[in-house]
Structure 1
Amino acid sequence: MRTSKNKGMRNNFSIQTQLRKWSWGCLALLLFFLWMPDNAGYLSAQSPIPVSEDSVLFEKTSFLILFNTDWDYTRAFPEEETDRLLEVLEDNPNLKVRLEARTDSVGDYTYNKDLATRRMEFAKRELKQRGVKGDRFIENVYGEDLPLAPNISREGRQTNRSVKVAAGYQTPFQEITGSIISKDGENGGIEGMMIIGSRYHRDTLFTDSTGKFTFIAPAGEIFSMEFYSGDHIMERTYHNLGREAPTLGEVEIERLEVGATFDFEDILFISNKAVLMPGFQDALPRLLRTVRFAANYRFEIQGHVNNPFSPPQPRGTFYYDLSERRARKVYNYLIENNIDSTRLEWKAYSNSKMIYPRARTENEMKYNRRVTVKVLGKIEDDQ
């Protein structure tokens, strides 16, 4: 970040100067863009934004209050976005509201800092009048520093004439490092996609051929990791930063083998129905990612039921048909999402392969009502 000093009037600024300033802003905002979630928009929710050297704000919702040139107020206050903010705050009493006041780069540096301060006061006043409590605010006056967009275009300058309002969890964070390697030792590091999750956020990052990764996670919290590549898939694993060191070292993953089965632990169904349990809707997109990344493999979709203390139920019985409907539901989901049908088969296993054949608790029964995925072989080996 630049030190504060009066840069004088610069109405005739050059594009080269603006690009140089934008590059500094990019460096300062590097964390933000490295950990944006899948399919994130420009101002997406749940993106980490630096708050201090040892804490981070994981956003739940955000929007911009936009200003005309040299104005410190606006008549076009974003009412719908503010209503959404109030709903989020009501549902999440521990959230903070981060305010970031900015200007474009036209004019005097010191004047722009003062203008941003006045915009901040306007935003706080208007938000308080609409029901946001003042003790929720985290205030940051940037002026023309740390722009949201390059100042070389009219659109970019308009974006920067703003106060950004972001509601999220402010929490200390730790930097997590390590590398993804093949367990057989042949490839060394593995290039692919990692998905990181915690109760605060969900992030996506990519490894190169070294397999090395670095990301942030809430300090002392439990976070999850999963990994996808052409020949290596790591199901979701959990790590407790209250008990584990933030340096994970080498994370070994086995190469996909014929006969390997993925349980996923969360393609689970309502009792006696081919309907996913509430809260497990993320299971199918995760399976879809697996099949897409492992594009050279064929898979069998396996349907299962919970019927403990009973022999395997044959074709034509309720439980066999139920396991078949569950397998076909997942199979059809993959086909509908453009997976080639020649890569997929489905099969009903009835109650022949229950995880808990003598299930007594609801939790044990829940994990019997599932769909699993088996690797049938590599396409090039079948030809």
Structure 2
Amino acid sequence: MRIALTTLICFSFLTAFAQGTKYHTIDKRAEKYYEEARQYLKRSQFREAMEPLQDALDKDPNFIEVWLAMGSANYRLGRDSLTLACFHKALEIDPDYSKSMYAYFLIGEIYFKQSNYEESKAYLAHYLSREDTDLKKRIQAEVMVDNCQFALKAMTSPFDYHIEILPDFANSFKLQYFPVLSVDQQKIYFTRREGLSVKNDEDIFYSDKLKDGSWSVPQSISDNINSEFNEGAASLSADGRMLVFTSCDGRRGYGSCDIYVSYKEGNNWSVPENMGPMINSAAWEAQPSLSADGRTIYFVSNKQGGMGRKDIWSSSKNKKGKWEPAINLGKKINTNKDEISPFIHANGESIYFSSNGRIGLGGLDIYMSEKTDSVWSEALNLGYPLNDAHDQVSLYISSDGEKGYYTIEKKMRHDFESKLYSFDLPDSFQVSNKSSYLRGTVSDASSGAPLQADIKLYKLNNEKYFSELSSDKKTGTYTVVLSESNHYGLYVSATGYLFKDFSFSFEDIDQFDENLLDIKLEPVKVGAITVLGNIFFDFNEYSLQRKSMSELKEVYDFLRQNPNVKVEISGHTDNIGSAQYNMELSTKRAKSVYDFLLFKRIRPEQITYVGYGQDKPIAPNDNLENQSKNRRIEFKISSISSDTK
């Protein structure tokens, strides 16, 4: 916006000067110097114009047109302090001179950039008091006045962010930006650049958090990822095994900048692949943010069909694992200006992003929005002092919603810096549903060998899975994210093995030491048993509750994938009530599961059912917790045949 605005204003200055036949001077030599300077200004040779402009002022220090021209030239050269000095001198000579109106506008804009909101508002108000101003600039001035009023109010009620620059090696390069952390906050990944020149290479680096809280010497993420071309703005899945990033002008792609993906097996990253035409286009795509399970991506593009210059878009994988066409996030997020650097929280429901198209404190401010039933809320400015007149970009929020990391970019007189900061997030801007993680390994129960297993996480009130991932092929490691206010079913399966299921809520994470759950899968063999822990009935009832659907789907999928396996579905109860009643209830419950599978066209010869009542407890019936363990449905392999017909 500022570049375009500057060009328009300076052109207006020059046009106004050109139309005049008389100047505010009687010194002919001063006039001659000014005419010489105007020729340079017409060719945008602002430095060259300075000498004749100064010569003109030496002849006539009150030559107002020269002060205005010199202010305009300094503005184009980025010399804010000199611009202010020149314009203030012009206004001192004649505050009501009609051609000085642009000076009021530019002074107001510079003060706004410098966080001098009171002065900015005053000069812009004077500009707006004139009726002969340009309509577009009036609109821009009105927006800046609104921003000033917002900023002044925000600064009188600052939030307690406790912002700190990251220490040690985390800020050891000339420029570093786009921080992203592992879900346990023990690794930080960022884009580093050694200098301001376009010749300086952008690469993705990472540091490990040390026991004393400092960061280790940064290392390149991988020779397969970093190259002679630019790589940056990375995002990782929660398990740290899927990386998406931006690469420009080097790799074969669809446009000037495209988004690429790399996968980690063991300790090695794969050669990056272009994410394809559902994500990338002939336009500019960059700054991706990946959901915790790696199945949804948010990114920035300036392609056609958006609402502004740069918009935030998203795409998700379908059931076949293919990316769907990207969709625009709509007017609750995007404006007619720029929205960049999106970050989707681990809960999948909260998004943070930077924008210069909304009321704020200047430049790019950070905003947040939360999704309910697929609808995003109105974006909320994160307030002062996190936001100020500088550009705030590339935010990361920890899974628990309490800690944040971001970049502050500062333009200085002869330099530019970009540093990484951390902060404590005030309650007002924390996510509604915090998240935590569960990690571990999946292995063969007999041999102990690591397994690549499919891991599905369901919200138990919804038969569609919430997220899906797989354990590492070489190490068997996995990480899943759980969020508040949800009850989850976790299902782990691998070809040739009997699946296992678990039931968790966010609060249950505390029962695991260091959030660790190692899972051992039994090979498919006669006698192998798993408890169907996510089958639910009302008290003393045998009708299946709807939240049993995710478990029933997993049972169905196993039977369809293993047609040579015959299973027994058995019902069990605690010892409350008579033995006869418990036997009847357990049999009816087992039959409910059996009937559902028949309804889904599982062959009747593949399944049987039986009730054991209270005869086969797996825990003493001496407390409520143990009694709940004994009330269960089991799934046992009774035979395996070579005939799959």
Counterparts of residues 3-152 of structure 1 (less than 5 Å): 16=253, 18=255, 20-23=257-260, 29=288, 31-32=290-291, 34-36=293-295, 42=315, 64-66=329-331, 71-72=336-337, 97-100=350-353, 116-118=355-357, 134=380
On the 8 A contact 1:183/1:252 being kept in 2, the answer is yes
Structure 1 letter corresponding to 2:529 = T
State the shift of 1:182 in Å. 1.8
On the 8 A contact 2:529/2:636 being kept in 1, the answer is yes
Counterparts of residues 209-228 of structure 1 (less than 5 Å): 209-210=473-474, 212-215=476-479, 217=481, 226-228=491-493
* Corresponding position: 1:236 with 2:486: no
State the shift of 1:299 in Å. 0.9
On the 8 A contact 2:353/2:366 being kept in 1, the answer is no
Counterparts of residues 250-261 of structure 1 (less than 5 Å): 252-261=520-529
* Corresponding position: 1:331 with 2:570: no
State the shift of 1:325 in Å. 2.3
Counterpart Cα distance in 2 of 1:133 and 1:70: 11
User: In angstroms, what is the RMSD of aligned CA positions?
Assistant: 5.6
Counterpart Cα distance in 1 of 2:447 and 2:393: 49
Change (3 A) 1:193 1:332: same
* Corresponding position: 1:193 with 2:446: no
On the 8 A contact 2:471/2:478 being kept in 1, the answer is no
Larger radius of gyration: 2
* 1:166-208 C-alpha deviation (Å, 9 max, x unpaired): 976455x6794x543323329x433331235899x95321246
* Corresponding position: 1:180 with 2:439: no
Counterpart Cα distance in 2 of 1:350 and 1:66: 58
On the 8 A contact 1:300/1:346 being kept in 2, the answer is yes
State the shift of 1:237 in Å. 8.0
Counterpart Cα distance in 1 of 2:377 and 2:490: 38
State the shift of 1:30 in Å. 6.9
Structure 2 letter corresponding to 1:195 = K
Counterpart Cα distance in 2 of 1:243 and 1:301: 30
Counterpart Cα distance in 1 of 2:256 and 2:604: 49
State the shift of 1:356 in Å. 6.0
Q: Name the TM-score, length of structure 2 as normaliser.
A: 0.34
Change (3 A) 1:17 1:36: closer
On the 8 A contact 1:229/1:294 being kept in 2, the answer is no
Unaligned runs of 5+ in 1: 8-12, 45-61, 74-93, 102-115, 144-165
Change (3 A) 1:141 1:378: farther
* 1:59-88 C-alpha deviation (Å, 9 max, x unpaired): xxx992249x99349xxxxxxxxxxxxxxx
Q: Kindly indicate whether structure 1 or structure 2 has the higher relative contact order, using CA contacts under 8 Å at least 6 residues apart.
A: 1
On the 8 A contact 1:36/1:203 being kept in 2, the answer is yes
Change (3 A) 1:355 1:288: same
User: Which residue number in structure 2 is paired with residue 374 of structure 1?
Assistant: 636
Structure 2 letter corresponding to 1:227 = V
Change (3 A) 1:34 1:262: closer
Counterparts of residues 234-313 of structure 1 (less than 5 Å): 234-236=500-502, 240=509, 244-245=513-514, 252-276=520-544, 282-292=550-560, 294-308=562-576, 310-311=578-579, 313=580
Structure 1 letter corresponding to 2:555 = L
State the shift of 1:330 in Å. 0.5
* 1:272-314 C-alpha deviation (Å, 9 max, x unpaired): 3212468655443343344455554221111234454745x3x
**Identical-residue share of aligned pairs (%):** 15
Change (3 A) 1:254 1:305: closer
Q: Name the TM-score, length of structure 1 as normaliser.
A: 0.52
Counterpart Cα distance in 2 of 1:296 and 1:20: 51
Counterpart Cα distance in 1 of 2:522 and 2:336: 59
On the 8 A contact 1:229/1:293 being kept in 2, the answer is no
Unaligned runs of 5+ in 2: 1-177, 179-190, 199-248, 262-273, 276-285, 297-313, 318-326, 339-346, 371-375, 395-429
